[in-house]
Amino acid sequence: MKTRRVFSAPDLDTAENALHAALHMGIRPDHAALVGRAEIEMTRMQDDEKEGSPTDFIPAALRGLVGGGVVGLAIGLIGMAVPAAGIPMAAVLLCVLVGATVGGWAAALAGSSVPSEVRRDYHGEIDAGQVLVVIDEADEALLERASHAVAAAGTRPLRLVHHGLLH
């Protein structure tokens, strides 16, 4: 399981130095990113340094697929259990497929307008002009070494915020 650490840098240069320090310590490039205001990301930040997705599109779509599939399965099984409906097993599979498709589509549509978790949780820092350095790593020892290097580069560690709760 990956652990996330988020650091706040006063400017893009400091954030980039901190990101490079984390990469130098062994953090994989796809496990580290910078997050900032839109004008900073669009005009001054390199693409390979940015967070993968600024919205909740993919996670929402996956939740919708699973939720819709479960609802479709329940409806299909209930239909099979009612003798008057006479729904065959193939129709249950069709219900699962339709449920997953509709659920995934609807949730993805809704998720495309929701900011990513980091952007939601740390919007105050981002709005204030800070650039965030985000590291996700499963190896705790590596995460600790990288965190010290990132902090030494001039960043300030932020408390982990998840869905409005401090951890």
pLDDT, tens digit (0-9, with 9 covering 90-100), for 90-129:
888 888 999 998 988 888 777 666 656 777 778 788 888 8
* Percent of residues, the chain, with pLDDT higher than 70: 80
For residue 72, give the nearest of 91, 94, 99 by alpha carbon.
99
For residue 31, give the nearest of 157, 129, 138, 132 by alpha carbon.
138
Domain boundaries, the chain: 3-54+117-166, 57-111
Evaluate whether 161 touches 122 at the Cβ level (below 8 Å): yes
The residue that leads in pLDDT, 104 or 148, is: 148
Q: Which pTM does this prediction carry?
A: 0.59
**Three-state SS at 99:** helix
Query: What fold does the segment set 3-54+117-166 form as a domain?
Result: Alpha-Beta Plaits (3.30.70)
